[in-house]
Amino acid sequence: MLEVKNDNLTIVSNPIVNQSLCTMRDKNTDTQGVRLAARKLTRILLYEATKNLPQKDIEIETPVAKCTTKTINDDITIIISPILRAGLIFTDEAVDILPQATIRHIGMYRDEKTLKPVWYYNKVPMPVHNPSKYYVFITDPMLATGNSLKEAIRLYVSKGIPQENICCVCMISAPTGIDAVFSEFRDVKLIVASVDSHLNERGYIVPGMGDAGDRIFNT
């Protein structure tokens, strides 16, 4: 696979990630197999993505003794923002890891002729009183052209949330999409499991896994 270098790009690679990707890519894997592999992979990616969450020291008492330990700050707002429909595969894992998070869905589909995103659902319009206290995780399995992801990022940046507090989590990406995101939003963080070769004439990632939504939801 082609490697793209950027300080804010993290490519997560280990045997479990590789095995999950192998299962998802294989055209002979059924829907249940794709879902299980995708959920396993999303958990690993989300662990990496949440490294930027601020922590604080608290004192607790174990069954043995008192101790000082770390936990996530409780004065921040955490938002998980899946791009419908394929991004939903991240949601169950995300709420298990971060039960305090708010889920705000973003609905877009890609016009197959122009490859531009078309909006159909938006749960992001909300008041933001202290933008620096917001941490946003935008999830979408495939980063192809980058157009949908840029639209989603733009929503949160327009509310004053610092780019440094926005993390995009994708499974499979293409250099075109990565470059498109960073050309406009240099300071967002991008977590991916793979950077594939290129996009074909239809805007699909090669080798990719086909249409992630279709394979995850058996449509």
CATH number of the domain within which 53 lies = 3.40.50.2020
Share of the chain above pLDDT 70, in %: 89
Residue whose C-alpha is closest to residue 131's, from 153, 152, 159, 111 = 159
pLDDT in tens, 27-75: 999 999 999 999 999 999 999 999 989 999 999 999 999 999 999 999 9
Reply yes or no on whether 39 is catalytic.
no
- 110: annotated active-site residue: yes
**114, 154, 179, 186: the active-site residue:** 114
Asked if residue 111 belongs to a domain, the reply is: yes
Q: What is the pLDDT of residues 1-13, one digit of tens each?
A: 444 557 899 999 9
194 is a domain residue:
yes
Domain assignment of residue 108, yes or no:
yes
Domain assignment of residue 117, yes or no = yes
* 30 catalytically annotated: no
80-113 per-position pLDDT tens digit: 999 877 677 788 888 889 999 999 888 766 666 6
Range of the domain at 98: 9-217
The count of structural domains within the chain is 1
Look at residue 182 and give its three-state secondary structure.
Answer: helix
- Which is the catalytic residue, given 35, 39, 102, 214? 214
Residue 3 placed within a domain: no
CA distances from 213 to 134, 173, 189 (A): 28, 15, 24
Q: So what's the pLDDT on residue 106?
A: 85
Averaged confidence pLDDT in the chain: 89
pTM of the predicted model over 0.85: yes
Q: Residue 219 above 90 pLDDT?
A: no
CB-based contact 169:181 (threshold 8 Å): no
Print burial letters for 181-204: b (CB count within 10 Å at least 16), e (below 16): bbeebeebbbbbbbbbeebeeebb
Could you tell me if residue 2 is inside a domain?
A: no
Find the farthest-apart pair of alpha carbons in the chain and give their distance in angstroms, rounded. Answer: 64
* Whether residue 57 lies in the annotated active site: no
Set 35, 39, 110, 176: catalytic member: 110
